[in-house]
Amino acid sequence: MPGETKNYNLVILGGGPAGLVAASMATESGKTVALVDNHHELGGAGINTGTVPSKTLRETAMALSGLQSRNLYGVDLSLRREVTIADFLGHERHIKAAFNADLSRRLEADKADIYNGTGSFLDPHTVSVSPGFIAPALSRPAAGEDIFLRGENILIATGSSPVRPELFPFGKGEIYDSDTILQLDRIPKTLAVIGAGVIGSEYACTFSALGAVVHVIDGRDKLLPFLDAEISVALAVAMERSGVVFHWNETVRQCVVAESGVVTLSLSSDLWLTVDAVLVAAGRKSNTGRLNLPLAGVATGERGIIPVDEHFRTNVPHIYAAGDVIGFPALASTSMEQGRRATRHALGMEVNAISPLLPNGIYTIPEISMVGETEESLRKQGVDYVVGWARYKDNARGRIIGDEDGFLKLLFRRDNMKLAGVHVMGEQVTEIVHIGLMAMLTGSSAEIFVEACFNVPTLSQLYKTATMHAIRQAGAR
Pairwise CA distance, residues 174 & 181, whole Å: 9
Q: Are residues 18 and 35 in the same domain?
A: yes
* Beta strand pairing call for 33-37 and 113-123: parallel
Q: Please tell me what DSSP assigns to residue 418.
A: B
**Domain assignment of residue 358, yes or no:** no
H or E element: which one contains 469? helix 461-475
pLDDT at residue 455 in the model: 96
Does residue 162 have a cis bond before it (omega within 30 degrees)? no
Q: Is residue 115 part of a domain?
A: yes
Q: pLDDT value at position 401? A: 87
Q: Are residues 149 and 254 in the same domain?
A: no
Q: Which residue, among 384, 382, 391, has the nearest Cα to 409 in the 3D structure?
A: 391
Nearest to 107 by CA among 185, 209, 170, 36: 36
Q: What is the CATH number of the domain that holds 428?
A: 3.30.390.30
Residue 375 resides in a domain: yes
Q: Is residue 50 part of a domain?
A: yes
User: Given 346, 374, 390, which residue is the final one in a domain?
Assistant: 346
Last residue of a domain, one of 246, 267, 282: 282
Q: Which of 234, 258, 282 is where one domain is finished?
A: 282
How confident is the chain (477 residues) per 10-residue block, as mean pLDDT?
Answer: 79 92 91 87 60 71 60 47 60 61 64 87 94 43 71 96 94 90 87 96 93 96 95 97 96 94 95 97 92 96 93 97 92 90 94 89 95 97 98 94 92 97 96 97 96 96 97 81
Task: Give how many domains the chain has, as a whole number.
Answer: 3
Residue 296 counted as domain residue: yes
Whether the CB-CB separation of 387 and 231 falls below 8 Å is answered with no
| Model pLDDT, residue 77 | 45
Query: Model pTM?
Result: 0.87
385, 440: one domain: yes
Residues 143 and 84 in one domain: yes
> Does residue 352 fall inside a structural domain?
no
On the CB side of 46, CA atoms within 13 Å amount to 23
Distance of CA 145 to the CA centre of its chain: 35
150 and 201 in a single domain? The answer is no
Written as one letter, the residue type at 101 is: A
Q: Based on the domain organization, do 191 and 63 belong to the same domain?
A: no
Which residues make beta-bridge pairs with 149? 6, 127
Evaluate whether 452 touches 464 at the Cβ level (below 8 Å). Answer: yes
Residues 191, 333: one domain?
A: no
**Tell me, what's the pLDDT at 70?**
39
- Domain annotation covers residue 442: yes
* Per-residue pLDDT, 274: 97
- Based on the domain organization, do 15 and 156 belong to the same domain? yes
* DSSP character at residue 302: G
What is the per-residue pLDDT for 308? 97
CATH number of the domain within which 232 lies: 3.50.50.60
Identify whether 359 is part of a domain: no
Q: Do 233 and 328 belong to one domain?
A: no
On whether both 17 and 121 belong to a single domain, the answer is: yes
Domain that holds residue 469: 366-475
Please spell the DSSP secondary structure of 201-255, one letter per residue.
Answer: HHHHHHHHHTT-EEEEE-SSSSS-TTS-HHHHHHHHHHHHHTT-EEETT--EEEE
The answer to whether residues 376 and 321 belong to one domain is no
Q: What is the pLDDT of residue 208?
A: 94
- If asked whether residues 125 and 179 sit together in one domain, one would say no
**What per-residue confidence (pLDDT) applies to 326?**
96
